[in-house]
Amino acid sequence: MTVPATTGARPVRPVSAPDLLRTGLRADAWSTAVLGAVLLFGGERIGDPLGLPLPWSMAFGIGMLAGAVVLALIARRRPIPAGLGWTAVTVNTVCAAAMLVLAFVDVLPLTVAGKVFMVVGALVVGGFAAVYVVALRRSARSGG
């Protein structure tokens, strides 16, 4: 039996730093917009299961929709200025920290589901910040 030397698959091309940053910003914008819309327009339905008061849900939803627009606008820039990328890192990091504080300090009457929601949200937001850091560092190393 002979084993072929190649599988016929295309070689994997590493994702460029600008592509990684742009893709991360777009994914962050879309996910932020969807969650913002859910919080703004579905706040009454999810408020009780999460323990999230409607005024907070609406405020979070409006803030997230505004943030989604900003992320989408940054992602459209060609090239994306490093300063805007680092601003996205900072804002995401602060948001992740705030979500963790809200989950573990009794500022809101969150249920267990609400606390899990906040922690998972913090992990997602922190994950986007980490992707941005990787992309920005790669870009700096490559001189871009």
pLDDT at 142: 79
Please state the pTM of the whole predicted model: 0.85
Q: How confident is the model at residue 17 (pLDDT cuts 50, 70, 90)?
A: confident
pLDDT at 5: 55
Other beta carbons less than 10 A from residue 26's beta carbon: 15
Eight-state DSSP code of residue 19: H
- Asked whether residue 3 carries a pLDDT value surpassing 60, the answer given is no
Structural tokens at position 53 = 């008061």
Structural tokens at position 89 = 């890192």
Asked if residues 72 and 36 have their Cβ atoms less than 8 Å apart, the reply is no
Q: What is the pLDDT of residues 76-92, one digit of tens each?
A: 999 999 999 999 999 99
